[in-house]
Structure 1
């Protein structure tokens, strides 16, 4: 199944719909996709209702889609591709890979209030001159769980979607010296969409810890880099199991994969950018694409000027 969140052409309300044969069929006039996930029977029951007696049927062409889960309870973004880790460490002028990364998945919490749809303008983070994109996949949690095993965790996935983690590399570098994480370096925008694809749709592509599906990023129509989801080191089952240790995962929680190898400008040009792969500027258009999941597009706009702060 493929699900979207959209604004109805009839009344402007945000609702969830089943995407099939060029149509979007809403099973309910008011239900969100998160509401359908949480309801008895989950998405399977909602799909049956959408086919049998939809509240609305609209042409998918021309619909302005929202993020599948516009307001997730939490967003955890992992770093699960080894090539990205190696390239990023080199770009930052370091030589040693962190041993802990090979012992456990690692993540940071990003901002659930900064979720953007699959075709929204993206403002450069205030004060940044090194704005970047990241090519990622995300899993959306479908039911509650805690202290899960990797095998159990897979069964908690409602579906997958494309994720772009917009990153201010200069802010991130400076903030990282404090040891609290990326902070404002990754706080302004995370794009999700265009669809939520249920796990059964991807089973034919399963390979190793991931799936043989291409992931790529382009700027102004020029392909920059990317790789395959099958290159992932930590599986989503492992990442979700780790995220659930000692805490509750909730329906709608978003779990990001981290960047595929060469899936960002930092990897291609280093911390200072390059003429071939410059940092993003107002007017640029970025496209992040994953086979079978579709693409998100971000048109880059100027950010606001940061308000000066004086200590004390």
Structure 2
């Protein structure tokens, strides 16, 4: 099943996405009815994930009992980030064999873990603003794990039980900032540097055993093209490792690393520029599309421009 978050008058409401019988995509918005009211109240992806043991079965029931008029055209709603408010946004560096090879780095003996600020999260079709502080902004398509069950010190046997589903992350990175220190969070956390979506595919419908194709296109040109078979540390490995340090909670997002083909390793290097269209695609999930724009003027710049006019 595919789940999305849609803009409901500014609220990130959860909905089920499916391909309709007429060949177009359609949505089933999800609501609850409070005990003291007959009104229907939209619920968020966070609401679903906080009670995932209930909702993973309830979602199936909602689809089975839905009437045709309950579904609306997907084109009638704007998508926001599939997981718009992750509790934590954890990333893993150097986790594809082909990416390690292109950088000339030795394979890590343990996952390289860093954080991305949740404030960087944006959704499908949102802009990626280029910050004036960086001249070397790069793309990174990544498979992301969405946690739906609290887990601490997981074993390999129960690690995957904590997974609600999977989505796509573009781990946009300011490479010049990344080289400044050994800590990468600042280089990864500018506004718009965390596109997430377009959908969350539930774990029961996303089998990683056979490998999934992972691609990124820049202005239509394929820049990254690999499969999840290239992962150095798999999903279960990452959950075991991370949960050995802190409890993973529902709503946590784990970006599992990027394959080869990133911009800074190319000759000459390729960095994002205003007007670029970036499409991150993973087989079985969809395509996360964003446009690169120049950073908006600061409030001070706007004031000075207005005063001089």
Q: Same fold (TM over 0.5)?
A: yes
Deviation for aligned residue 1:56: 5.0
Task: Tell me the residue number matched to 1:278.
Answer: 270
Moved over 6 A (4+): none
TM-score (norm 1): 0.83
2:38 aligned with 1:27: no
Structure 2, unmatched stretches of 5+, are 32-40, 300-309
Task: Tell me the residue number matched to 1:169.
Answer: 175
Task: Tell me the residue number matched to 1:48.
Answer: 61
CA distance in 2, matches of 1:68, 1:218: 20
Task: Tell me the residue number matched to 2:257.
Answer: 258
Deviation for aligned residue 1:305: 7.4
Q: Number of residues paired by the alignment?
A: 280
Decide whether the 8 Å contact of 2:46 with 2:251 is kept in 1.
yes
Alignment of 1:171-210 (within 5 A): 171-174=177-180, 176=181, 179=182, 181-188=183-190, 189-203=193-207, 206-207=209-210
Task: Tell me the residue number matched to 2:159.
Answer: 153
CA distance in 2, matches of 1:65, 1:51: 24
1:218-252 deviation line (CA, Å, top 9, x unaligned): 11111122211111111101101111113211101
Task: Tell me the residue number matched to 1:242.
Answer: 241
In structure 1, the residue corresponding to 2:102 is in which secondary structure?
Answer: helix
Decide whether the 8 Å contact of 1:75 with 1:111 is kept in 2.
yes
CA distance in 1, matches of 2:296, 2:59: 42
Task: Tell me the residue number matched to 1:294.
Answer: 286
CA distance in 1, matches of 2:265, 2:129: 22
In structure 2, the residue corresponding to 1:128 is in which secondary structure?
Answer: coil
Deviation for aligned residue 1:304: 5.5
Distance 1:85 1:125, change over 3 A: farther
Decide whether the 8 Å contact of 1:135 with 1:165 is kept in 2.
yes
2:224 aligned with 1:225: yes
CA distance in 2, matches of 1:214, 1:167: 22
TM-score (norm 2): 0.84
Distance 1:132 1:249, change over 3 A: same
